[in-house]
Amino acid sequence: MNEKVVPVYVITGFLGSGKSTLLNRILTDAKAKGLKPAIVMNEVGDVNVEGQLIEKDIPMSEVLGGCICCTSRGDLGLELVQLAQEHEPDVIWIESTGIAQPLEIMEGVTEASLYAKLELRNVITVVDARHLLDRLRIGTGKTLKLMKEQIRVASFIILNKTDLVQEQDLLELQEAIKDLNAYARLALTTNAELDPDLLYADIEHNRSFEQEASEHKDDEHCTHENCSHEHEHEHHDHNHEHEHSYHNHSHAHKHGTLHDHVNVVTYYFKGKVDSVVFEAFLKQLPQEIYRAKGIVAFQDTASLFLFQYAYREIDFLRITPQKSVNNVAVFIGEGFSQADLLNQLEQLDITN
């Protein structure tokens, strides 16, 4: 029986901030140092795009179809205990979905520690500099409130994509972050590039996570019985609308979440798509869609590509997965027409 205490680290941050890029850097570093990591990945949709690219020898659990903070906290505890007992990792990393409220995740870890020797060490929040600046200028809204809460609970904050803002704006962002959280260490990065050793270090003046959770619990986080958070939750079952059979992965799938201001559309491609048409499609997405990602096969190349879309920025990365992956796209936003989006996807999807 494993008697060692397994440290647990949480990576949080709003959609498109760079959490997956950071996690990949951490995993590469762990491999170089001979460490054995395990991962819990949470997605609000029904497919974990980045998880399909994780090396198959890394133990990984997926919590899909909702965010840990309000629908799957119990699942998180079970997954953590199972990972610790079956794989005996040196460290466990949790990457939460971008719309997760982190206090519930932290409580889920501490509850799991009753059944396995787990210790929550750090909560790392990744912040998109341009996006936070835009939200601060607006000054209100559900997204801004959630971003602020993710900053407040962090012990380490990574202000990412700093190359997309001016120097004077960067100073404004640092002041705003310090006002929200004077205790956390702050690192400024581009492309989430930093020494992973910094994330493992003990944080001077760091408050206990249990104390922080207790301070905010009554007025800052949502539970099944009540939600005082501005992004209120509808208390109903998840709605799944299938247009084709799920098992052959050749269908469009719309997933409704408990975060009533956030819509998620998951689409499984039936065939290959035209690369030029697909890029043009991404460029004309409505502004209400602020995050998209997926794996696509193009007609004009034999390679698969991982695509990322965040706040009008598009990135394609040629990939060679070590295991079977789905050709799939996930779109996240609020107030957009899901029917129109699905119709456009059907139009560009070409069956061989």
Digit-by-digit pLDDT tens for the chain (352 residues) are 456 889 999 999 998 899 989 999 999 999 999 999 999 987 655 555 555 556 677 887 766 555 555 445 557 888 888 999 999 999 999 998 888 777 778 877 877 876 788 888 888 999 999 999 999 999 988 889 999 999 998 989 999 999 999 999 999 999 999 999 998 999 999 999 999 999 985 433 333 433 444 444 444 443 333 333 333 333 333 333 333 222 233 344 443 333 444 566 878 898 999 999 999 999 999 988 888 888 899 998 888 999 989 878 898 989 888 777 778 888 878 778 888 999 999 999 865 5
H-type helices in 57-114, by residue range?
A: 73-87, 102-112
Residues linked to residue 41 through DSSP beta bridges, in sequence order: 62, 95
In this structure, what are the phi and psi dihedrals at residue 289, rounded to the nearest 5 degrees? -90, 110
- What tokens appear for 51 in the block? 């998880």
Q: How many CB atoms lie within 10 A of CB 190?
A: 13
User: Angle at which helices 102-112 and 73-87 pack, to 10 degrees?
Assistant: 40
- Rounded-to-integer distance, Cα 326 and Cα 286, Å: 25
Region of 65 on the Ramachandran plot (φ > 0 left; ψ -120 to 50 alpha; else beta): left
- The structural domains of the chain, ordered by start, are 6-220 (3.40.50.300), 241-348 (3.30.1220.10)
User: Angle at which helices 142-152 and 129-138 pack, to 10 degrees?
Assistant: 120
Dihedral sign of CA atoms 277, 328, 233, 12 in order: negative
- Rounded-to-integer distance, Cα 302 and Cα 304, Å: 7
- What tokens appear for 101 in the block? 């409220």
- Rounded to two decimals, the pTM is 0.67
The DSSP output letter for 231 is: S
Reduce the DSSP state of residue 341 to 3 states and report it: helix
